[in-house]
Structure 1
Amino acid sequence: MKSPLTKLLLALCMVCTASAFAQLPRSTTKTIALNAIDSEQHKILFEAVKVTQMEEILEKAGPFTIFAPSDAAFERFSTEKIKELINSQDKSALKSLLTYHIVAGHLTASRILRAMCRGNGKASFTTIQGKKLLAHMEGFDIVLTDPMGNQARITSADLNLKNGVAHEIDSVILPSQM
């Protein structure tokens, strides 16, 4: 017998999945790297990808799921900290930050929701950095939580790309204290 919470999550998953499919761009020939170049909302993200020399990986490898903070999300995080990370001689902290926003595989919103349904409302995903991101629902939003307790909401889901999928998020998530 299913608990009321399980039934509610299942119903919510079906509604959100149907809504996500209705809004999906069906396919594109752009890769994650090329999409970042063209995006007006992700200039800081692309600059970080460029200075860490991750363009080629995001251009040729995959599939990946990228939780892409918008420029507004980076500015709320700390404009000064981002400038410091981008201008630093040692790019390891910036690369760690970027790889924490990328998961191997093609995780559409519906796949994330299904994983949460199987996990009684929560799902864990391992980033390419090797750390965990936790996903859960708050209202109709998929929310990601990092190990420090910081949260980011997916504000725009399922930009299907040649080598993966991108979800825009409203905050920068952190692999550790920065």
Structure 2
Amino acid sequence: MQQKEGLAQQNLVGTLKSNTSFSTFINAIDKAGLTASLDGTEQYTLFAPTDEAFSALPAGTLDRLLQPANKDELASLVNYHLVSGRKTTADVGKWQSARTVQGQAAPIKVAEGTLSVGGAHVTRPDIMARNGVIHGIDKVNIPEAKPH
């Protein structure tokens, strides 16, 4: 019992790391320089694309995003999967859209009992962490490019 409680007390990054499905997203968070902000005490809801979701991106997209020159674009993409506050799928399912940390709203839909965010289905709901909740999703949501 003690070990299980200890696992629930990890922060968002630690919780992601203890789950083998999110290694690509952890790498993206790290390369975007956002690990420290997700290690803190502020509460977040994280819609985390699985490794399979990243592998479904067009060829070369992930490699390009992970290059140091594209750090801002990568940070924007990671922040588009992040919402301030600790929200379970029951909470999120009441919304029309999620206001992301990135700034753009991601549309929320519930159809046939499945919650989707920006077209990505929540496949692993309500993974609790000390400073938030993780929802595994089956697609990487790409924010709209901002005009320069």
Structure of greater Rg: 1
Counterpart in the other structure of 1:129: 102
- TM-score scaled by structure 1? 0.74
- TM-score scaled by structure 2? 0.88
Deviations along 1:81-132, one digit per CA (max 9) or x if unpaired, are 111111242301100000000000011011122x24xxxxxx1110001110
Q: Distance in 2 between matches of 1:136 and 1:154?
A: 11
Q: Distance in 1 between matches of 2:99 and 2:139?
A: 18
Q: Distance in 1 between matches of 2:66 and 2:39?
A: 20
Q: Distance in 2 between matches of 1:78 and 1:58?
A: 27
Counterpart in the other structure of 2:25: 45
Q: Distance in 1 between matches of 2:31 and 2:12?
A: 16
Identity across the alignment (%):
24
The structure with more helix, counted as a fraction of residues: 1
Counterpart in the other structure of 1:161: 129
CA shift, 1:52, in A, is 1.4
Q: Determine if the alignment matches structure 1 residue 107 to structure 2 residue 87.
A: yes
Counterpart in the other structure of 1:5: none
CA shift, 1:68, in A, is 0.3
Gaps of 5+ in 1: 1-24, 117-122, 146-150
CA shift, 1:138, in A, is 1.7
Gaps of 5+ in 2: none
Of residues 93-102 and 132-141 in structure 1, the stretch that sits farther from structure 2 once superposed is: 132-141
Deviations along 1:49-85, one digit per CA (max 9) or x if unpaired, are 1111211110014200000000000110235211111
Change (3 A) 1:79 1:61: farther
Q: What is the root-mean-square deviation of aligned Cα atoms in Å?
A: 1.9
Between the two proteins, the alignment pairs up a number of residues equal to 142
Per the alignment, in what secondary structure is the counterpart of residue 54 of structure 2?
helix
